[in-house]
C-alpha cells in the first residue's frame, strides 16, 4: 500500500516542522509539568494562564494560505516532510478556501482531520449497505478518507478539520494570546474546539483536565487525551522547544481507550479448578489496535454491578492495552433491554449444579468429572510450572479428550505412540516424541507434582514448603492436619485443602496410578538455597496470579533476591500481569517502556530471571 500511495501524493516540506507533544499520564505529572513551566518563566504557577483543550484522535494537517487563499494542504508525515493532500482537503467542510479580510502574507493553519462519531457511524452504515469493508475506528476511517486518490471519493466522506494552531510565516499578524488566535481562526470559518477553556493557575487547569476524563464519551469525537497549552504567546517564546516538542504544551493521555460495541451474549467458562467465569461475547470491535470479540466479566457480582445484558451497547476497554474488559452498558433511551442476566445454576459443560459459597464471589462447578475442568487440569498438569511436558497444549489435550484417550491426568502415562500416531495431525514422529516427553517427566519432583495436581489454594510456594518438609507423597498424605498447619508458608486454608485432597477416593486412586506408572513422588529440588535470579530487581505484580496469594508472589520474588514494590517506576524490571490487573500500573509500565509479562511467565521469571515474550 505504501509504495502505491507514495506515487500518488507529492512530498511537501513544512515551512516550520510539525512537532509532537510530550505526554503525562496523570494529574500529579501534569502538576509537575506546570511547575517546571512556571520555574522556567520565573513566575507563579497559581497565576499562569493555561488553555485546556481536547486532544483529538485524528491526523495532523497543515494548510498553507497565500494572500488569503488556500494554497496547499499537507499531512504531518515525519514532521519535516509530509504529503500533499490539497485537493482532498478542499473538499472538507469547515476548511475555508479563502480567509476573509486577509489580503497578504503567508499563513499556516494547523489542526486535526477527524471523523465525528456520528459521521463515522453513518459512513460505516453506508459501507455496509454497499457491501464495502467497514472501518475499524474513526481514526482509520479519517486516514483512509484523506488519502484517497480521487478527491471525489474524499468529498463523499464526512471529514472534519479542527484548527488549533496558527503559524504566521510572514509575520504580518500580531496576537498576544493563543485564545486570540483561536478566535481569529473561528472568525475565518474554521472549526475550533468548543470545549477549550482558559484556566488560571494549576488547580483550575487540572480540574478542567479531569473534566475531560469524565466526559470523554460525551464529546462529538474520539479523544485520546487533553492538551494543555500556555496561553501567553510571549511566555511561549521564552519557553521554546526541545528537539521534539514545545515546552509550552503538554498532552495528558487518557487511560485505556474505550470503544462501544454490542454485547451479543454472556457465557460462562469453566477453569481447571471448576471456577465458573462469566465472559462477554461481543460484536468484534477494534480496541487499542486489535480486534476484541470476548471480554471477561470476572464473576457474578461484577455482572450484577455492571448490569450488562445481552443486546446492550457496552463500553469495552483493554486494561493497560492488554486485557479486554467490559466497563458497563451505554444507556439507549427508548430501547427495550433484555431481562437482567442471571448466572446459570448448572455448569454449561457438564450440566451439574454450580455452587457458590455465601461469603465468596466465585461460583464453582464441583463435578470432578466435568470435561471442561478436565481439559484445563491436564493442560495445567503438563504446563511449565508443573510437569513441563512439551507438546501438550490446550489443542492437543482437547484432541486426546475428544478421542477418549484420557479422562484423568494419570491417563497420560498410559498413552502409546501407535495409538497417538493415528490422531489427526500427529504422525509417528510427533507421537513418539510426545510419549518420550511424558516419560521424561516421570522423573520430576514432588513439589512439581503438587503444583500440577491443582489442589485448591496450593501454589508453587506452598507446594515447595510441603514437599521440602515431607519429602515424599506418602508422608504428606498421612500427616495430621496440625502438622500441615504448622508449616511455614502453609496456612490453615491450604492445610485444610491438602488434608481433604489426600483423603478423597479419587485422589488416592490417581496417586496409585502415578505410582504404578513410575512417576516420582519424592522431592528432589529441595534442600538448596534458591538461586538469586532476580537479585536487585524490582518486579511489580498486578492482578491475581493463579496459585499465588499476593504475599506468596512477593515471597517468591524476594526469595530470589528481588523486591516487589507496589508501584511502577522507571527502575521497575518488569510488571507481571495477572487476572484483573490494575489499569494504572499497566498504563504506567507502557508509558515508561517497562516490559509487561504474562502471568504464565511468572515461573520462568522466578527460575531464570527473564521471560520468553512480553505482552503486546
| Cβ atoms < 10 Å from Cβ of 272 | 18
Q: Is the dihedral of CA 575, 579, 581, 587 positive or negative?
A: positive
CA angle (149 as vertex; 144, 151 as ends), nearest 5: 90
Contact in structure between 460 and 547 (CB atoms under 8 Å) = yes
The interface with ligand IVH within residues 504-543 (CB under 6 A) comprises none
Active-site pick, 55, 229, 306, 537? 55
With CB under 6 A as the contact rule, the residue among 24, 52, 55, 184 that binds ligand IVH is 55
With CB under 6 A as the contact rule, the residue among 83, 112, 119, 603 that binds ligand IVH is 112
Nearest distance, CB of residue 29 and ligand IVH, angstroms: 16
With CB under 6 A as the contact rule, the residue among 65, 161, 164, 364 that binds ligand IVH is 164
Contact in structure between 391 and 433 (CB atoms under 8 Å) = yes
Which CB atom, from 85 or from 347, has the smaller least distance to ligand IVH?
85
- Residue 388 CA to residue 376 CA, distance in Å, equals 15
Which CB atom, from 50 or from 381, has the smaller least distance to ligand IVH?
50
Cell readout for 471 is 519429602
Which CB atom, from 23 or from 610, has the smaller least distance to ligand IVH?
23
Rule CB under 6 A: say whether 108 interacts with ligand IVH.
Answer: no
- Residue 444 CA to residue 517 CA, distance in Å, equals 13
Which CB atom, from 114 or from 499, has the smaller least distance to ligand IVH?
114
Nearest distance, CB of residue 28 and ligand IVH, angstroms: 20
Instruction: Decide the pairing of beta strands 249-253 and 223-230.
Output: antiparallel
With CB under 6 A as the contact rule, the residue among 249, 285, 323, 540 that binds ligand IVH is 249
Contact in structure between 343 and 313 (CB atoms under 8 Å) = no
Site string for ligand IVH, 61-80 (x = CB under 6 A): ---------------x----
Residue spans of alpha helices (H) in 524-566: 550-559
With CB under 6 A as the contact rule, the residue among 105, 246, 391, 565 that binds ligand IVH is 246
Nearest distance, CB of residue 285 and ligand IVH, angstroms: 23
Looking at residue 567, what DSSP letter applies?
S
The interface with ligand IVH within residues 19-38 (CB under 6 A) comprises 19-21
Which CB atom, from 211 or from 343, has the smaller least distance to ligand IVH?
211
Nearest distance, CB of residue 95 and ligand IVH, angstroms: 16
Looking at residue 254, what DSSP letter applies?
-
- Residue 555 CA to residue 39 CA, distance in Å, equals 44
Strand partners, 163: 111
Closest CA to 188 of 104, 98, 63, 69: 98
Cell readout for 284 is 468484534
Residue 55 annotated in active site: yes
Contact stretch for ligand IVH (CB under 6 A) within 50-58, 177-185, 438-446, 602-610: 50-58
Rule CB under 6 A: say whether 56 interacts with ligand IVH.
Answer: yes
Q: How many residues touch ligand IVH (CB under 6 A)?
A: 15
Buried b (16+ CB within 10 A) or exposed e, 25-41: bbbebbbebbeebbeeb
Q: Where along the sequence are the contacts to ligand IVH (CB under 6 A)? A: 19-21, 53, 55-56, 60, 76, 112, 164-165, 227, 246, 249, 251
Which residues are designated catalytic?
55
Amino acid at each position: 500500500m505504501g509504495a502505491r500511495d507514495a506515487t500518488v501524493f507529492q512530498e511537501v516540506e513544512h515551512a516550520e516542522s510539525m512537532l509532537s507533544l510530550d505526554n503525562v499520564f496523570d494529574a500529579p505529572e501534569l502538576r509537575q509539568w506546570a511547575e517546571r513551566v512556571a520555574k522556567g518563566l520565573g513566575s507563579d504557577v497559581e497565576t499562569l494562564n493555561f488553555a485546556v483543550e481536547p486532544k483529538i484522535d485524528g491526523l495532523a494537517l497543515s494548510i498553507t494560505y497565500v494572500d488569503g487563499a488556500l494554497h496547499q494542504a499537507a499531512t504531518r508525515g515525519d514532521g519535516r516532510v509530509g504529503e500533499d493532500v490539497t485537493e482532498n482537503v478542499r473538499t472538507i467542510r469547515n476548511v475555508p478556501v479563502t480567509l476573509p479580510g486577509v489580503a497578504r502574507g503567508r499563513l499556516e493553519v494547523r489542526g486535526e482531520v477527524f471523523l465525528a462519531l456520528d459521521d463515522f457511524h453513518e459512513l460505516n452504515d453506508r459501507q455496509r449497505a454497499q457491501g464495502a469493508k467497514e472501518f475499524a475506528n474513526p481514526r482509520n476511517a479519517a486516514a483512509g478518507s484523506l488519502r484517497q486518490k480521487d478527491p471525489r471519493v474524499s468529498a463523499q466522506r464526512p471529514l472534519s478539520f479542527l484548527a488549533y494552531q496558527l503559524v504566521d510565516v510572514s509575520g504580518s499578524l500580531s496576537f498576544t494570546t493563543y485564545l486570540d488566535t483561536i478566535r481569529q481562526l473561528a472568525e475565518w470559518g474554521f472549526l475550533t474546539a468548543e470545549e477549550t477553556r482558559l484556566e488560571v493557575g494549576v488547580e483550575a487547569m487540572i480540574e478542567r483536565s479531569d473534566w475531560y476524563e469524565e466526559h470523554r464519551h460525551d464529546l462529538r469525537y474520539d479523544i485520546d487525551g487533553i492538551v494543555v497549552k500556555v496561553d501567553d504567546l510571549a511566555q511561549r517564546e521564552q519557553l521554546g522547544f526541545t528537539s521534539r516538542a514545545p515546552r509550552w504544551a503538554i498532552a495528558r493521555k487518557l487511560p485505556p481507550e474505550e470503544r462501544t460495541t454490542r454485547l451479543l451474549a454472556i457465557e460462562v467458562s469453566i477453569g481447571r479448578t471448576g471456577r465458573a467465569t462469566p465472559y462477554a461475547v461481543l460484536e468484534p470491535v477494534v480496541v487499542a489496535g486489535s480486534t476484541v470479540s470476548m471480554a471477561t466479566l470476572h464473576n457474578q457480582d461484577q455482572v450484577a454491578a455492571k448490569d450488562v445484558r445481552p443486546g446492550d451497547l457496552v463500553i469495552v476497554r483493554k486494561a493497560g492495552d492488554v486485557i479486554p474488559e467490559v466497563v458497563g452498558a451505554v444507556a439507549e433511551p427508548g430501547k427495550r433491554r433484555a431481562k437482567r442476566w442471571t448466572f446459570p445454576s448448572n455448569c454449561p459443560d457438564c450440566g451439574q449444579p454450580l455452587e457458590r459459597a455465601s461469603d465468596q464471589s466465585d461460583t464453582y462447578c464441583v463435578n470432578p468429572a466435568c470435561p471442561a475442568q478436565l481439559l484445563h487440569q491436564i493442560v495445567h498438569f503438563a504446563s511449565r510450572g508443573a510437569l513441563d511436558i512439551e507438546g501438550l497444549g490446550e489443542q492437543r489435550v482437547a484432541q486426546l479428550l475428544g478421542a477418549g484417550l484420557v479422562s484423568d491426568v494419570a491417563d497420560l502415562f498410559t498413552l502409546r505412540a501407535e495409538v497417538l500416531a493415528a490422531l489427526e495431525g500427529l504422525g509417528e514422529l510427533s507421537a513418539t516424541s510426545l510419549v518420550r516427553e511424558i516419560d521424561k517427566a516421570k522423573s520430576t519432583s514432588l513439589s512439581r507434582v503438587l503444583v500440577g495436581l491443582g489442589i485448591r489454594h496450593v501454589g508453587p510456594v506452598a507446594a515447595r514448603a510441603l514437599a521440602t518438609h515431607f519429602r515424599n507423597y506418602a508422608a504428606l498424605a498421612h500427616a495430621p492436619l496440625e502438622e500441615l498447619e504448622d508449616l511455614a508458608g502453609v496456612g490453615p486454608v491450604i492445610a485444610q485443602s491438602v488434608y481433604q485432597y489426600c483423603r478423597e477416593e479419587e485422589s488416592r486412586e490417581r496417586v496409585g496410578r502415578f505410582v504404578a506408572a513410575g512417576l516420582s513422588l519424592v522431592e528432589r529440588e529441595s534442600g538448596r538455597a534458591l538461586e538469586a535470579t532476580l537479585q536487585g530487581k524490582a518486579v511489580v505484580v498486578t492482578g491475581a496470579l493463579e496459585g499465588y496469594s499476593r504475599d506468596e508472589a512477593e515471597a517468591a520474588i524476594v526469595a530470589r533476591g528481588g523486591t516487589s514494590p507496589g508501584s511502577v517506576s522507571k527502575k521497575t524490571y518488569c510488571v507481571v500481569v495477572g487476572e484483573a490487573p490494575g489499569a494504572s500500573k499497566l498504563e504506567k509500565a507502557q508509558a515508561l517502556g517497562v516490559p509487561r509479562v504474562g502471568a504464565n511467565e511468572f515461573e520462568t521469571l522466578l527460575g531464570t530471571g527473564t521471560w520468553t515474550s512480553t505482552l503486546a
